[in-house]
Structure 1
């Protein structure tokens, strides 16, 4: 048995190991550019989740996606494009004093329809498992001696100009002006209690989660599931929290199932600027919390969380407001100074009749935007839940735990973000 002094020494030794063990250096883990240039010539390496920084002839410069990520020249006669995320496997060598990866295989990260993805995150300790990857054909080089790599120019972090197919909602948001949108599906209708006149409604693409608000009384006959042609003028930009169409004509041309909602965390509802649709804020009191990435404003989505706050009275004529939180970090300030999460606006008191604080719910609605209480120049997300419709739809589902709410929200629902 250990005596007391020996036991103390062992304990101190263990504490020293815990306190002074060096943390893993993700910047130079296997699969990074820094690791690749550190191994001897002839070593086989695989670089995962690398951004295509520059393409010059048969050389491509790949960069780790984090800030100030290392860049490495890769020799491969491949038709790569800037901003693609790729995996490159090959042999390390040195050409004219520069470390180079001579690739024998390059795969591009894609979505489920095999379209190249925008920059993806890179695992800190190991590569992410990504289900959709496509091999890039590699040409044959007849060089007996590989040419030296060209000089790498610093990457311009400004994104490429936004483009979209004419006639799409995305094109309307980017370019504004007068638009004609054909074949769009009505996802939700908002009208006052007892009135046939519509305040506004939302339309969405039939084949992708892209939607927009349509304002104007000319659409008084439409219902969720109608296929419509909308003509009007796009309104958006500075001072307008939510881009929308001021309609001059709405014509119903058929019917279709309403698209499935896009599953999102509360935090994922905060997206970056997209054309005339402003960026939203993750924390309405923090000017530096402006959103980035996918902006889903105008789209039918599904979220879940714990009810933190309730405003309004069930079944009354007037809006009922709930605030939910799923732990992902969304915060906004209310008029009384409290800091709950995502705001749910139940239109005219429908759809959220009995849910109280501490309840767990999974909610389907339209992702809208409004100006924050902290600063009227900062748009924040709000989930709009419409009233009764001719076509029945379950907008809110209760759960007895956060896990039940998550599982309910995820049933047959495409995911924008895994939580």
Structure 2
């Protein structure tokens, strides 16, 4: 199967967007641009069921059997005919035998008889109801059932109730969760077809950056962005190539971009895309690929580069590029605003935007219409509602504010200032960071 299809150009995608302006791009338009541009992996592999967690399903799975395969009991108790339940007093039935899980009652229950049955056991022929044992009393070889304890059909699981033979169980593009693995196991599936893992290379740029373990010279800082990117990418189950810190040097940057494009499907960089930063990063991006430099109407995370980087020469390979800002909070916000969904789409996953919850603002929040803002907040339960408070200073370099927060307050493009008590939308961090 072909690994790559011929992708559209940046110009082709831009021509499809009304009012496209790279110097003032709304968040929604940038998201649409990226969704139209990114390619999908095309290689399918079969993996063992236990290795499939978090992978994207490459084909529909159709149930080869009925689940459950027989009518069975949902309770430990007694199987009986619902028509024999008395409505005006207790019902007395003789116990004709028992049926255990994995075994079928071999005899036959005649009129006025019931069968002792365990959870999961096949329902005896002709019986359609199960009364839980705690609702009954024994008198010799008879069971006594109070009036109204059960109704006809209670506590019986029907054949094919979960999945019927030939029914689609999971659709192509499904990101497989623990419940999905259990469902596939219930169908007897030892292997599952998934798209191959996406390969993502990432590195930070800047002469001022130092890796953990190195001494800090005057004016230098430790590189935190690679660690947050590594954590966010790990959650997506992609293969990672960490290229470390790359200095503001044209030759070093070119070598890093070529290595990344040769080995990965996507490249993520942090730093080097803002006005006033060293020109080498932008220069090399333009030299090696087709790259748009955006000023997005958002806060934090205004500067961003997006496009494609190629190795050049015969047999050239290419990778999608996400050039993120250098400030730590802006890296995380732009990753969740743009990169996460794009990487999942490239991995073959069906579109599944992150869910937002509604919460009441504890305090007033200043906001100008015309840009999307992501403010760090702490969401707490307040009776039946949620409430959210901002974590103090919202500077894009204050990573501590992200560590203290448990969600992002999303203030949309046309939205203005928020008064205390107003409803706002919040993107929870649980499962993300």
TM-score range, shorter chain: under 0.3
TM-score, reference length from structure 2: 0.23
Question: Whose helix proportion is higher, 1 or 2?
Answer: 2
Higher relative contact order (CA 8 A, sep 6+): 2
Largest Rg, 1 or 2: 2
